Amino acid sequence: MNARSELPSNPVDTRTQEKYIGTSVPRAGARKLLQGRGVYLDDVRLPRLAHVVFFRSPHAHARIKSLDLSRARQQPGVIGAFDGAAIAEYCTPWVGVLSHLKGLKSAVQHAVAIDRVCWQGEAVAAIVAETRRQAEDALDHVMAEFEPLPAVIDMRESLKGDVVIHPELGDNICFTRSMETEGFAEAWAKADVVVEKTYDFGRHTGVTNEPRALMADYNPAEHSLTVYHANQAPHMMQDIISRHLNIPESNVRVICKDVGGSFGIKVHVYADEMATAALSVMLRRPVKFLADRIESFLTDIHAREHTATVRLACTKAGDIIGFDLDDLTGIGPYSVYPRTSGIEGNQVVNLTGGPYKHKHYRARLNVVFTNKNVTCQYRAVGHPIAMALTEGIVDEAARAIGMDPAEFRRRNLIPDDAYPYTFVSGTKYEKLSHQQCMDKLLKLMDYDALRAEQAALRQKGVYRGIGLAAMIEVTNPSPAFYGVGGARISAQDGATIRMDPQGMLNVMVSVTEQGQGTEAVFAQIAAQTVGVSVDRVRVITGDTGVTPYGGGTWASRGAGIGGEAVLQSGKVLKSNILDIAAAILTLDKATLDVVNNQVVDKLTGEAKMPLAEVGRVAYFRPDTLPMNFQSELTVTRHYTPREYGFTFTNGIQASYVEVDPETGFVKLLKHWCVEDCGTVINPMLVDEQIRGGIVQGIGGALFEECLYSEDGQLLNGSMADYLVPMASEMPDIIVGHVETPTRGSELGAKGAGEAGTAGAPGAVMNAVNDALAPLGAGVTAQPFTPQRVLKALGKV
Amino acid sequence: MSEKKINTTFELNGARVEREVPVRMHLIDMLREDLGLTGSHLGCEHGVCGACQVMVDGKVVRGCLTLGVAVEGKSVETIEGLSDSGQLAVLQQAFLQHNAFQCGFCSSGMLISALDIVRHHPDANRDEIRDLISGNYCRCTGYQAIVDAIESVLKAQRVLPIAQGAAA
C-alpha cells in the first residue's frame, strides 16, 4: 500500500526560471516510462476484446486458388474468419498516388488480399478469436492453395519489365523523373576531372521495439469508432479510417498513447491495421491487432533499396562543376498509401549534391515495383542515400586531384553569406551555416591531429580512416510536401492552452510524442511564454477527440511547427491573463507581467497576485469582474510554414574508424556531429535526437539489411538474424551546435529528429574507404559487412 | 483442445501468488495478461532485445524465454515492484537526469540490467557498461546517455555506497 506520507506533495516549484527555451530540462512527464507505468497499445484492455491474427502469404507472388476457412472457424474461441472479399465490403481499397509526383502510378490495394498475393507476408485471411493464442492456434487450420506466379525480386529485372507485376499498369515503373540544368553538357565538357561510382544501399527497416499495433472499438449505437493506435499521425488516420470505412469523420476518434518507437514506421496506412478497424465494425466489438516480430519484418515498411551511379565533374583546382545522378529504387508491389513510395527517390534527386554551390546537375530516377515488402518513408527519407552518394563521390574527387577532403569541401560548400539560395535542383534554402559548422567540427575533432595520428598508425600497420559528410535536411514541410498532391495530411498544427483554476497550464497539441521529447519542449515553451514554472504545465498529445487538428510527427516538424503554435497560443493566453489581473487590480495592463506563477509589476517585479488567484476569480467569482468583461483562459492558435517549401537544416558529421584487414571488421572509434537545427529548445534532448539518429544511420551503414532469397523469401525475419546496433559496437558521439533560427517563425526552431540519420552513413562509408585506401580497396555497398570488406580486399 | 495447466505458486513483488498456469505460457505473457503487470514489454520474442526482462531470485531473466510454470517456488520482481520498493530509485533518477530513454519501451529491461551492473559490477568502466547492456536493444537513444547514467550511479556509489536496495 502507498503510505499517505510517501505521496508527492503539490508545491509550486521554487527553483523556477524565466528562460526555459535553451535549457536542458529533464522530461518530468516521462518519469512514468521509467517505472513501467507507461501505457503502450498492448497495455490497454477493453471488455469483450477480441484478437485478430492474419494468415499471410507464403509466396512472393501467387494466385489464391482456394481458401477454406471452415475448419479455422470451428476452433476453440474463434469468433470469425474472413477473407479479403468479406472485409472489402466494409473497407474500400486505395491507391497510393500523389498528383504532384507527375505520372506516379500504383495498383489498387485491399486491406486483405483478393485473388492474388504480391509479397510474402501479405495478409490473405483474418482470424478473430477471444484470445491471441486461440487465434494463432486456429491459423494452423486455414486451408489455402496457391498457384505461384513469376516473382520480380531484383529491381533491375523489374525495370527490364519481362514480367509485369500489375498488368493493368502496363509496366513495372511506379514513378520516373529526370532533370537537367541548362547548359549541362557544355559545362560538363569543360571538366578537368570526372569521377564516377556506383553505390548500393541495402533495404532496411525501422525495427521499433514496440511492434505496430491497433485496437479498434466500434460502438454501433452511435456508429462511432475509437481507434487506439501506435501511430505518429492520428488526424491523418482519422480521415483515412473515416473515408474508407464510411464513418463520419468526427465519429472516428484516434488515440495514440505511449508509442514505443516510430521513426516513420508508424505513419503509414497498413492493410492489416485497416482490416482490424473494419473487423471491429463487422463484429460490433473491440478488436486488437499486435504485430509479432516476424510480421513486423515482413510488413512494416522497408526503405532505402537503391542502386545509384553518381558522377562528379570538377576542375583541377578543386571546384565542383556539377553532379550527374542515375538512381534506381525498388519499392515492393504497391506504392504505400497515402504518402506514396515515390517520395524517397524524389528526395534523392532533390538533395544529391545539396550542400555544394555547383551550377550544373542532371538526374534520372526510376522507382520500380518488386515482389518484396513495400517500402516507404523511414527516418530521414532519402537523405542517407543522397548524402552518402554526394559525400562518397566528393571524397573520390578530392582523392583524384590529391586534395585533402576537408579542404575540398571548404572550397565548394555554399558560403554562409549566400542566402537565400536556390539550389540547382530548384530547392530553396532560407539560411544555412555550412562554413560555420565545418569550422566548428574540425576544431571539435582536432582534424589535423587526428590526421597525424592516422598517418603514424599506418606506419605500424593499423588502418584507421576519417570520414566527413556534410549534409542538409528537410524539416517543417509546408503543404508543398503532401497537401498539394492531394493527400489529406495537415501541414498546419495547433495548440490549445487552458489555464486551470489553480494556475496550472493544460497544453493540448496536435503534434504527437514517441519519445523525442516533444511534450517536454512544448511544456518549456508554454512555461516561458506564459510565465509559469515548468512543473505547472501538463501536455496532452495524440488524441483527435481532444487536441486541435494537425499533421502529427514526421519530417522533423514537431518542435518547429507544433512549438510555434504553442508559443503563439501562450502569448495570447498571457495577454488574456493580464486582462483579468488588470480588471481585478484596477491597474493598467501595460504595467503588469506574469513571472514565476505570479502576476507582477512589470517594472519593479513586485508580486501582485498569484495565477491561482486570477483563476479563482475568473472561474468562480466572475461576478466580481466588470459587467461587460468575459475572461478567456483557453486559447488556441495554429501555425503553418508558408514562405519556403521546407525549412532546411544543415550540419556536418565525422567518423573515425579502424578496419581490421584480416577479419574485415570495422570498429567505430568516435563520431562527431555539428548541427544547425535553428533554435535549440532543450540541448539535452536535441543531442539525444542527433545521437539516436546517428546510431540508426550507422545501423544502415554497417549492419542492417532485409535479405531476400531469389524467390522472394525474407531470410532474416528475427532480431537474432537482422542486426541492429548494440551498445558495445557504438562509439561515443560528440555533438556541437550552430544556431541559425528560421525567420519563418518566432520560435526559430527548425527540427532535429532526422539529421543524424541523414549524414551518418556517408561519414562512416568515407571513413571505411579512407582506411582501406592505402590497401587499394574500397567499398560501395551498404551495409559494409566484414564479408564485403574482405571481398573488397580480395581476401574472399 | 483444452490447455494443460499447472498450479504454480510463487512470490511476485513480495506477495504470494497462486495461479493455474498453461504449461506453454511464457512468463512475460503470464505477467502481462494474467497478472496485469504491463510494465515489462514484449519486443522480439526471441530473447534478443531484453524488453521483457524481470528478476527471478535476484537474477536477470528474459520473460520471453522463461515459462510461467518455471517460477514455481521462486521470487519474481518486475519493474513495478522494483520501482515501488525504491530499489531502482537512484538509477531512475539518473536515467531522468541524463535523458537515458526516449520512447521508454526498452527502459524496464534496461533498468533491470543496470541494477544488475550496480549490484555485481560496481567497478565497470564505460566499455564494460556498454558490453553489459548489449543484451538490451534501444532504438532511440544511441545508448550514450544510458552509459552516462549508469556510469554516474557507479561513480557516486564508489564515493558513497548507495545504502538502500541498489547495492544490496
Residue B148 has which C-alpha cell? Answer: 552516462
Which residues of chain A make contact with B140, given a CB cutoff of 8 A? Answer: 261, 515, 692
Domain ranges of chain A: 46-149+209-262+265-299, 383-470+646-792, 492-639
**Whole-number pLDDT of residue A10:** 53
Q: Coil, helix or strand for A144?
A: strand
Structural domain contains residue B41: yes
For the whole model, what pTM was predicted?
A: 0.97
Average pLDDT score, chain A? 97
Identify which of B88, B129, B141 has the shortest CB distance to residue A688: B141
Ranges of chain A with pLDDT below 70: 1, 5-6, 8-17
Instruction: State the smallest CA–CA distance between residue B129 and chain A in angstroms.
Output: 8
Which one of B61, B80, B99 terminates a domain? Answer: B80
Residue in chain A closest to B84 (alpha carbons) equals A35
Contact across the interface for B92 and A693, Cβ inside 8 Å: no
Task: Supply the CATH number for residue B37's domain.
Answer: 3.10.20.30
Which residues of chain A make contact with B102, given a CB cutoff of 8 A? Answer: 261, 514-517, 688, 692
Contact across the interface for A36 and B80, Cβ inside 8 Å: yes
Contact across the interface for B99 and A718, Cβ inside 8 Å: no
| Whether pLDDT at B167 is above 50 | no
**Whole-number pLDDT of residue A212:** 98
Phi first, then psi, for residue B15 (nearest 5°) are: -115, 145
Which one of B80, B115, B143 terminates a domain? Answer: B80
Task: Give the total number of structural domains in chain B.
Answer: 2
Which residues of chain B make contact with A516, given a CB cutoff of 8 A? Answer: 102
In contact, B67 and B6? CB cutoff 8 Å: no
Task: Supply the CATH number for residue B140's domain.
Answer: 1.10.150.120
Residue A84 has which C-alpha cell? Answer: 479479403
Contact across the interface for A727 and B134, Cβ inside 8 Å: yes
Contact across the interface for A260 and B137, Cβ inside 8 Å: no
Phi first, then psi, for residue A270 (nearest 5°) are: -105, 135
CB atoms within 10 A of CB A545: 12
Summarize pLDDT for B110-126 with one digit per residue, the tens. 999 999 999 999 999 99
Q: Please identify which residue in the block is written with the cell numbers 543522397.
A: A386
**Whole-number pLDDT of residue A729:** 96
Domain housing B70: 5-80
Contact across the interface for A36 and B79, Cβ inside 8 Å: yes
Structural domain contains residue B51: yes
Q: Please identify which residue in the block is written with the cell numbers 481499397.
A: A93
Residues B151, B96 share a domain = yes
- CATH T-level topology, domain A383-470+646-792: Aldehyde Oxidoreductase; domain 4 (3.30.365)
CATH number for region A492-639: 3.30.365.10
CATH class label, A46-149+209-262+265-299: alpha beta
**Whole-number pLDDT of residue B164:** 47
**Whole-number pLDDT of residue B166:** 46
Partners of A636 in beta bridges: A496
**Whole-number pLDDT of residue A6:** 66
Summarize pLDDT for A494-528 with one digit per residue, the tens. 999 999 999 999 999 999 999 999 999 999 999 99
**Whole-number pLDDT of residue A13:** 46
pLDDT bucket at B165, cuts 50 / 70 / 90: very low
> What secondary structure, in 3-state letters, does A178-240 show?
EEECCCHHHHHHCCCEEEEEEEEECCEECCCCCCCEEEEEEECCCCEEEEEECCCCHHHHHHH
**Whole-number pLDDT of residue A28:** 83
Residues B94, B59 share a domain = no
| Whether pLDDT at B2 is above 90 | no
Confirm whether A46-149+209-262+265-299 and A383-470+646-792 share one CATH topology. no
Identify which of A211, A258, A727 has the shortest CB distance to residue B104: A258
**Whole-number pLDDT of residue B162:** 58
Partners of A464 in beta bridges: A658
Q: CA distances (Å), A180 to each of A342, A352, A357, A425, B64, in order?
A: 19, 13, 16, 9, 55
Contact across the interface for A33 and B40, Cβ inside 8 Å: no
**Whole-number pLDDT of residue B160:** 76
